[in-house]
Structure 1
Amino acid sequence: MNKTFKIYAVIFIVVMIILALFEVNKTESTDWRKNFKTDQKSPFGIFIFNHEVKDLFKNKLTKSDQTPYDYYNQNETKKAHNILIIEHEVDGESWNKVFDEVAKGSDAMLIVSDIPKEVSDSIGYYDSKISFEEENILKLTDKKYRNDFIRLDKFPSGRGFTFIRPGAEVLGKTVEKNNTDQANFIRVNYGKGHFYVHCEPLFITNYYLLKKGSTKYAQDVFSYLDDRETIWFDESNTVESHFFMRFILSNPALKYAWWLLLGGLLLFIFFNAKRKQRIVPVVEPLKNTSVDFVKSIGNLYLQEGDFHDMMAKKAQYFLNKVRMDLLIDTQNLDAEFAKKLHLKTGKPMETIDEAIVLIRKAQDPYAQVMKEDLSRMNKLLDEIIR
């Protein structure tokens, strides 16, 4: 282990200890974001509502992670039912499907802080910021619910309805000390069904449902829906990610440790890439002189002009290769030998017969051999066994 590596290791350990001390001594902060997610236990998540909603709707609730457009394309003959949408962005085609279902006798309850333009334009009302107070009270207008209310003391949206078409019924209001009451919950007839629109969704969040008496207000709001099947289009009811880093990245402490580890590795690679390396000596490979030797021997034979001796050596080399590789007896160069060589090499009999004639000529010490005979035999033997 060199000195540089030890220095990097010490720096890395010191940084890790400092971060660990910060992590141990840090104070837990509350997440006050209005996420309205069913799996979030933060103040403005709806984990508690999601846990209790089936009892609220007497086990007649179905949660769907599909868009209304996809859902109703697969369930075209569905009878009248309730539709529940809570802080969920819905596309235009899906709103058309919702309007069709309501027109046929279903009821749709929208609990949204920002009313979609498709809805407000179709059923005739507008919402806007009506209050900037830090605290207000939500009440229902029905006399039987006069004692049921909820006090919003943390980040109320302050939204309400500034215009409502004639014939719409105001079911709930926002009450403040210094302002007149403003409608925040209405019912609008549409075809054979109704739209229920509530523009303050905070009343179903964890923070307010845990407050004493607040659950009664929520029960009263949902009591306007008939006792029948309810479809809740829930955008947070989606398939959980299977990304292998999901657990680490979802935990703040593990996430910081992971990024720190990656940063340390990158620094280590960066600095070590610049370290000096010992010069590697160049070793010349040994030269292969076999080819030069063969060329020298070949030139010697050509200069001597002894073609007969060269044919004899070529024939001897060929017959030895036939014995070793093809396992054919070469003692008698007869018809039987020619047939076996033909079968094992697949070469034409004419080629083999001509080669045997030349081999016999090379083995005959008294035969007259020409340069053309050597060239022809060399070509035939190379063709038979490559």
Structure 2
Amino acid sequence: MKKTFKIYAVIFIVVMLILALLEVNKKETTSWRKNFDINEKSPFGLFVFNNEAKDLFKNNLSKTEQAPYDYYGQRKKNLHNIIVIEKDLDKQSWMKILDQVSDGSDAMIIVSHVPKNIEDTIGYHSSDISFAEENVLKLTDTKYQNDFIKLDKFPSGRGFSFIKPKVDVLGKTVEKNNSDQVNFIKTSFGKGTIYVHSEPLFLTNYYLLKPGSLKYAQDVFSYLQDRETIWFVENDTKVSRFFMRFVLSNPALKYAWWIFLGGLMLFIFFNAKRKQRIVPVLEPLRNTSVDFVKSIGNLYLQEGNFHDMMAKKAQYFLNRIRMDLLIDTQHLDGEFANKLHLKTGKPIEMIDEAITLMRKGQDPYASVMKEDLVRMNKLLDEILR
């Protein structure tokens, strides 16, 4: 049992070590996933913007991982700026942001998708406005006309398909084979202002590291007032690079993985515990006495010495009579026959015939045939039964 368990344990450890070595030695590949993670250095992470944000907002920027609903539910804030960059928020959080804007704060929302009811409240409808592989983002203000950014890697093509009156257009998407489409708007909401930009890619590492691209980002945020700014980020912790991170980051896959490991360990444990060595088959000791008797019988039968066999059978029979029935067998006469009849209950005729055959077998000059041996053997067995 212990040996089998150790074998399974060694195999499991070796497999895990091989997986770990493959993960450590594999070549780093560039991930083009649009993650918008402030700690991610991949092309579409926000690592560069996160490092430049303090200077951009003159060290008046605060980041929080809390949802707006929880953040504003725990504290009251003076008028401030709000930044949301490609972050999934629930309806209650969006309403908290609108409440803050209504009181006089400003919000810069840079996302590709906003819930429909929030769009209706602000006064626009968003959709896919471009399917080109390349486009250019420009601002409409003349003082920023020389500042633009070219999107040549996976632009989302999002923009505004409908804008209500009193909504100002601040930026557009420019294409070669299409008319300009709105991607940056401004609208008043209560005492504050809401800015919505539909293409968050311009803040990612890939584009900010291009010459001149940072100026476009500075122009976009220049619309915000110079005051305290709250940035609602997705996560401010280092992303794990463990090769199982995708499985462990999904609850269903994580539970399935742990159930698989638990089941595997239980299988190894119980299989090793219950499995025993093969029990060898031990042949029972053979009755050599029977074989010996058969051999002797075959020998006599082959030689055809029926007279000697009758004599030995008679001798064996008389010995049983003396030992079991306590009858004197010295004289095989009428008295012997009568005593044997009384103690065995067998017919006197059968006993007399048996005595006659035994005398014949004991007489060395008598002529004996095979039939005599068979008949005597049958009679004697019947008497002793």
Q: Same fold (TM over 0.5)?
A: yes
Pairwise CA distance, 1:195: 0.7
d(CA) in 1 for partners of 2:7 and 2:87? 54
Bigger mean CA offset, 261-270 vs 119-128: 261-270
d(CA) in 1 for partners of 2:159 and 2:226? 27
TM-score (norm: length of structure 2) = 0.60
- Is residue 2–residue 272 contact of structure 2 (8 Å, CA) maintained in 1? no
Q: Which residue of 1 aligns with 2:284?
A: none
Q: Which residue of 1 aligns with 2:242?
A: 251
Greater Rg by CA: 2
Asked if residue 72 in structure 1 is aligned to residue 104 in structure 2, the reply is: no
d(CA) in 2 for partners of 1:184 and 1:146? 15
Q: Which residue of 2 aligns with 1:54?
A: 54
Please list the CA deviations of residues 198-251 of structure 1 after superposition, one character each: whole Å capped at 9, or x if unmatched: 0000111112112221111111100110111111122324xx59xxxx96xx42
Pairwise CA distance, 1:272: 2.5
Paired residue total: 269
Distance 1:13 1:111, change over 3 A: closer
Matches within 5 A, 1:180-195: 180-195=179-194
d(CA) in 2 for partners of 1:194 and 1:54? 22
d(CA) in 1 for partners of 2:217 and 2:127? 22
- Is residue 82–residue 229 contact of structure 1 (8 Å, CA) maintained in 2? yes
Q: Which residue of 1 aligns with 2:318?
A: none
Q: Which residue of 1 aligns with 2:360?
A: none
Pairwise CA distance, 1:103: 1.9
Bigger mean CA offset, 4-13 vs 214-223: 4-13
Unaligned 5+ segments in structure 2 are 248-256, 280-385
Matches within 5 A, 1:74-93: 74-76=74-76, 78-93=77-92
Q: Which residue of 1 aligns with 2:146?
A: 147
Q: Which residue of 1 aligns with 2:344?
A: none
Pairwise CA distance, 1:166: 1.3
Matches within 5 A, 1:105-124: 105-124=104-123
- Is residue 46–residue 205 contact of structure 2 (8 Å, CA) maintained in 1? yes
Q: Could you say which structure has the greater relative contact order, defined with CA pairs below 8 angstroms and 6 or more residues apart? A: 2
Q: Which residue of 1 aligns with 2:133?
A: 134
Please list the CA deviations of residues 343-378 of structure 1 after superposition, one character each: whole Å capped at 9, or x if unmatched: xxxxxxxxxxxxxxxxxxxxxxxxxxxxxxxxxxxx
Residue 224 of structure 2 aligns to a residue whose secondary structure is: coil
Q: Which residue of 1 aligns with 2:196?
A: 197
Q: Which residue of 1 aligns with 2:32?
A: 32
d(CA) in 2 for partners of 1:205 and 1:124? 27
Aligned-pair identity in percent equals: 63
Pairwise CA distance, 1:120: 0.9
Pairwise CA distance, 1:129: 0.5
Bigger mean CA offset, 66-75 vs 177-186: 66-75
Query: Given residue 51 of structure 1, which amino acid in structure 2 is its aligned partner?
Result: N
Pairwise CA distance, 1:126: 0.5
- The CA RMSD measured in Å over matched residues stands at 3.5
- Is residue 103–residue 191 contact of structure 1 (8 Å, CA) maintained in 2? yes
Distance 1:59 1:25, change over 3 A: closer
Pairwise CA distance, 1:93: 2.6
Bigger mean CA offset, 206-215 vs 223-232: 206-215
Matches within 5 A, 1:1-386: 23=23, 26-76=26-76, 78-237=77-236, 250-252=241-243, 268-269=268-269, 271-276=271-276
Distance 1:147 1:14, change over 3 A: same
- Is residue 23–residue 253 contact of structure 1 (8 Å, CA) maintained in 2? no
Pairwise CA distance, 1:263: 9.4
d(CA) in 1 for partners of 2:227 and 2:49? 19
d(CA) in 1 for partners of 2:232 and 2:246? 32
Please list the CA deviations of residues 275-311 of structure 1 after superposition, one character each: whole Å capped at 9, or x if unmatched: 31599xxxxxxxxxxxxxxxxxxxxxxxxxxxxxxxx
Distance 1:31 1:255, change over 3 A: closer
TM-score (norm: length of structure 1) = 0.60
- Is residue 12–residue 264 contact of structure 1 (8 Å, CA) maintained in 2? no
